[in-house]
A and B are shown apart, each in its own frame.
Chain A
Amino acid sequence: MNTRYTRTAMSLHWLIAIAIFGTFALGTYMADLRISPTMLKLYSWHKWAGVTIFVLVVARLAWRLGHPPPALPAHMPPLERLAAHAGHLALYGLMFVIPVSGWLMSSALGFQTVWFGVLPLPDLVAKDAALGDLLQQVHLVLNYMLLVLVVMHVAAALKHHFINRDDVLLRMLPQVRKTSPGVSATGVSEK
């Protein structure tokens, strides 16, 4: 059994992480802007980024189906394992649902999503101001949930690395050349 994530899984993980960080920050910033050319551009970029993240997440899930992730370290008690699986499931769910909520919200508010200004996404809901406001709230709440989960995700990874001293964090990081095979198998506990 592989003890590390594949290069593709790592690339997708970090690419999506950076994209979500940027898109989240952009969304938070642009929400308070008054109408201007810059504001319209930022909204479009945010929507393009959201669609891109969605596509990357779908690719990541597809890859994961054919390449199961390495097993959790043996020392983890059942409750921690359950929490880890539930947390990852929730992260995937939110990464999938948040772009969809943004897409539907845009349609309801009357602004179709056209990916990079080229590929139009169909409007699955008709223009409806009340529905648009509701979906905006949904998009916001889902993002706050994601924020909480990401903080927990990072905290858990750091706990594994610095407290449990296992390889959970390292196996998602590109391998350093000089690392001996022994270290990659048992993590930093060798130190």
Chain B
Amino acid sequence: MIKTTMSRKLAIGAMAMLMAWTAQAVEYDRIDPAESRIDFGFKQMGVGMDGRFDKFAVTLQFDPAKPEAARAVLELQVDSVDTGSVEGNEEVKGKLWFDAANHPLARFEAKGLKALGDGRFELSGDLTIKGRTKPVLASLSYVPDGARARIEGSFPMKRSDFGVGEGEWADFGLVADEIEIRFKMLALAAGQ
């Protein structure tokens, strides 16, 4: 009885080591859209509000052992925005906000990934919204889970940098300039 428990423990230990080893060597090349999400938070007259984007696509090439070689491009459909109310969604698709008719896609292209240790990384890249491009810096965490990995992070941006919310909406006392973007991705390893 004790022996079986021992050997089971050993077997589990060996499996865990094997999995850890495979995880080390793994390269992630796509995400699971159903398990990934992009949210944003902002303040409206002092009230914390949340929203999200439902439709986006990610191309990925990420080996945690070689962060300098990582590639990532994210494209999201701005008309998939959910601000929490139907009227709000219709409004922000309009010309003064995202101008979805002329700029249907927002894009993020990774330019550099730096390992900070302990599963944390600093991601730099170019964010393009409404035809305007600005560099952004995100901190992210990486938690491997076999052939999959949870990659989560956030970065602050200013909507004024991209002309999102112009004209009568340019008043930051109403809708704050600072927007926090939060992303949670479930990355899948190549060949899985």
Residues on A close to B: CB < 8 A?
A: 34-37, 40-41, 44, 109-114, 116-118, 120, 127
Contacts and interface: CB of A to CB of B under 8 A. Distances in A.
Closest 8 CB pairs of A and B: A117-B46, A110-B84, A35-B87, A44-B45, A114-B47, A114-B46, A35-B91, A37-B174
19 contacts: A34-B87, A35-B87, A35-B90, A36-B168, A37-B174, A40-B45, A41-B174, A44-B47, A109-B85, A110-B49, A110-B84, A111-B47, A111-B49, A111-B84, A112-B47, A114-B45, A117-B46, A117-B47, A120-B48
Given A41-B174, A110-B49, 11 more contacts: A35-B88, A37-B171, A44-B47, A111-B47, A111-B85, A112-B47, A112-B48, A114-B47, A116-B46, A120-B47, A127-B84
Interface in B121-141: none
Interface in B54-87: 84-85, 87
A41 B171 CA distance: 11
Contacts of B87: 34-35
B22 interface: no
Chain B contact residues: helix, strand, loop or mixed: mixed
A40 B46 CA distance: 12
B169 interface: yes
Given A37-B168, A40-B174, A41-B174, A110 B45 contact: no
Nearest to B94: A35
Interface of B: 44-49, 84-85, 87-88, 90-91, 168-169, 171, 174-175
Contacts of B46: 114, 116-118
A122 to B, nearest CB: 12
A40 B49 CA distance: 13
B85 A110 contact: yes
Contacts of A116: 46
A41 B91 contact: no
A110 B86 CA distance: 12
Contacts of A110: 49, 84-85
Contact of A37 (B47, B85, B169): B169
A104 B48 CA distance: 16
B75 to A, nearest CB: 27
B85 A117 contact: no
Contacts of A120: 47-48
Contacts of B91: 35
B86 to A, nearest CB: 9
A31 to B, nearest CB: 12
A35 B174 CA distance: 13
